[in-house]
Structure formats: C-alpha cells, structure tokens
A = this chain, B = another copy of it.
C-alpha cells in the first residue's frame, strides 16, 4: 500500500507530510518523494492523517458477553451476584465468539493488539488469529487453596498454551504469564510462576493495587508490604512486567516500579466507573516509567473506545491533581501507542517508522469535530471519535475500512454472541 501526500505523526509526535509505503507486514518507505516500483493500492492523503495504531495493554476480551450486565452495584455485589455466576457458565463457544466480537470492536476503535488476561486460552487464540489482529494472551493463574503449582489445571493449560501458541500467527499472537493478583494467590504460586516466566522469557501481567481494599489488605496479610513490594520480593518484577491499574501505589511503590522497569497500565474509565480511584499517572511519568493504557473489560467500561480512554486519562489526571497543566496530549498519545507496544514486548510496533510493523490507523480530518486544526495531536486526543477512523491496519493488512470488517463476519458474530449470552443467562 502507498499513502500519497499523507500527513502522519512521526515517532517524536510531530506532524510530517510525505509518502508512506507498506509491503507485506512492514512499513518499508517514508519520504518526501514517491518510492519507485510501487504496485499496490494507492491511497490519497488529502484531508487524512496517518497515525500508529493503538495497543490496549489491559483487557479481558471474552467479557464482552457481560457488557452492561451489572450497573450501579458495589464491586463485591457486582462480582458475586453478576460476574462470577455468569463466568461459571462460560463455554468454549461463547468465549470464541465474544473474543471475536471484541476484536471487531477493537479494530473499530483503532486498537490492533491487546494484552488479554483470561482463561479458555485456546479459543481466544483462535479468534485473535482469525481476526488478523494481535494479542498478548495470558492464562490468568489464581490459587486460593494452596495447591501445588505443577498440579494445577490452570498451570497445565497455561504451559500447554505457551508451548503451542507462542509466536503463532506470524508473531501476532504472543503468550504472557499472569498471576491474577496478590489477593488471589499464595506466595509459592507467585514465585513458581515468576520462575517459569523467567525460563520461558514471558512478560508477567498482574493486577496491582486496583482498589484500596486490595492495597490495604495486602499490607495486613504481608507484614506491611504493599502489593508492589510483595511482588518485587517474590521475583515477579525480575522479568519484564506489566502492572495494571496501580491506583493506590505509594511513592515507595513507584520507586520499585521505576527501578524494575515495570510498565504501568492505567485503566481510567474502569477505575472511575467502579469508583476504585485514579492512578497517579503524573507521578509515574515523572519517574520515567513506561505508561500504557488499558480498557479493562467492557463489563466495567462498557466499550473499547480508545479515544475515550485517552481523553479520560488526561481528564482524570487533571481532576486528581486539581491542575489542568498535568499530562500533555503528547504524553497521552505516546502511552496509547508506543507505551502499549512496549508493554507487549513489540519493539517494532507503536510508531510510523521504516522497519516497523505496519500497524496503522487512517484518520479523517474533514469532520466537524476535527476542525479547525490548531494542533493535530490535541484534536486526536481530545476531539476525535471512532467516526473518523477510515481504516485500521494490522501487520499491513486492512482489518476495518469505512465501517466494514474485512476479516470478521460481524453480523454472524453479533448473532452468535447474543445466542451464547441468552443460553448462559438461562442456565444461571
């Protein structure tokens, strides 16, 4: 593909204009003159802006089945009366279709890759592979009952998935390790999983200090150690790690995260919706920590709208610090793109740059909510909507264009998700 006379956002968040060529899965040329020998589709850049695609660093794709299922409930009521009973009835078929739905929704919002923590790994891998999008899938490990690590079914499933699926779909699908959280496992499990992840070069994906209860409870359970201090002690940060939420982290916790190069994934919409709190993103950025953005599941969001997520990251920081000057649009845009790609260990993703994967989103600037343009990044972060997405491209392949899905039968997917949801509701 060749984008002709296209404005694009470069790796320094500057708007440039020129020719951008992709070939197979990669960006092969960027320059002010047309490249020689292009034979592919030519897309004219008039009124358009080419940006790197978004990387969703914390999601639970199959939970699209539970969109809007429980509203206005306390966290414990929501989990115990709604989410857990529903999840107890999940099937492979339901998870497959729900993941496919989330892939379609992701493409609509410009997301090409998700750090996806759940179970039914095999069915998630199948859906992601078929969709043409990408995911770092982790089989989340919990251990409430002190079971021996190597005898747990979940561990067997995880190990099998790591063997079978890592670097499948030409590297679009990667496997992460995941200890669900401090309060859902014992110390031995954390240590053993960390060791396993180290041996297999896996990223460790963790829920960290999402709620005050979790954060304070951890200190009671572990002689005053916060979740960050506890995981650090257990070796979970001796490998590349991705800590989701980090709402209640202290200054000392931020020191640990910085020292250990842990990526922080903030989930502003979900954290506000469940009244968990607001992540101290300004302090985290000041310490040079890699910041990424996550949607969390649509059961507590209730969509995968990454424009909204970027905007809420800015707004939530401004209201937390009561200071309109914190978090620049450039910092937010970087977190949504490069920050997320880095969280997923995708070093050749997240920027419009020769040699990188062609993970791109084409934006229409000729929309009433995008005019006039004083600053394109300001408009992207605070004014754009999914309406402006002309196409979403993953590894050089168009997944979504002008409302049409190229790899997913969306009508059938919506039908099957509804059927699966109805069946589960009947069985509860």
Interface residues of A (CB under 8 A from B): 64-69, 71-75, 78, 101-102, 104-105, 108-109, 269, 272-275, 277-278, 298, 301-305, 308, 311-312, 314-316, 318-319, 321-329, 366-369, 371-375, 378-379, 382-383, 385-387, 403, 410-411, 413-414, 417-418, 421
A318, B272: Cβ atoms closer than 8 Å: yes
Copies in the complex: 2
Known: A324-B73, A385-B386. A65 touches B372 (CB 8 A): yes
A378 to B417 alpha-carbon distance, docked (Å):
18
Contact status B318-A378, CB under 8 Å = no
Residues of B within 8 A of A325 (CB): 72-74
Chain B residue numbers with a CB within 8 Å of A421 are 372, 374
Contact across chains for B308 and A275 when beta carbons are under 8 A apart:
no
Known: A303-B385, A315-B273, A368-B101. A324 touches B418 (CB 8 A): no
B-chain residues with CB within 8 Å of residue A74 when the two chains form the complex: 324-325
User: In the bound complex, do residue B369 and residue A275 qualify as a contact, i.e. CB atoms below 8 Å apart?
Assistant: no
The 4 closest A-B pairs by CB, nearest first: A68-B378, A105-B368, A302-B382, A272-B315
Closest to A270 in B: B315
Additional A-B contacts beyond A72-B327, A108-B368, A273-B315 (6; CB < 8 A):
A67-B372, A72-B326, A105-B368, A105-B369, A272-B316, A372-B421
Least CB distance, A185 to chain B, in whole angstroms: 25
Least CB distance, A50 to chain B, in whole angstroms? 19
**B418 touching A372, Cβ below 8 Å:** yes
Q: Do residues A324 and B273 form an inter-chain contact, with CB atoms below 8 A? A: yes
Pairwise interchain contact B378-A71, C-beta atoms closer than 8 A: yes
Q: Are A67 and B323 in contact (CB under 8 A)?
A: no
Contact at B311–A379, with CB atoms within 8 Å? no
Chain B neighbourhood of A368, CB < 8 A: 101-102, 104-105, 108, 410, 413-414
Contact A387 B71 (CB under 8 A): no
Q: Beyond A72-B324, A314-B273, A366-B414, is A385–B383 a contact (Cβ under 8 Å)?
A: no
Judge whether A277 and B369 touch: CB under 8 Å.
no
Distance of A79 from chain B, by nearest CB (Å) = 12
* Cβ A383 vs Cβ B298 within 8 A: yes
A324→B383 contact, CB < 8 A: no
Q: How far is the CA of A298 from the CA of B311 in the complex (A)?
A: 13
B414 touches A322 (CB 8 A): no
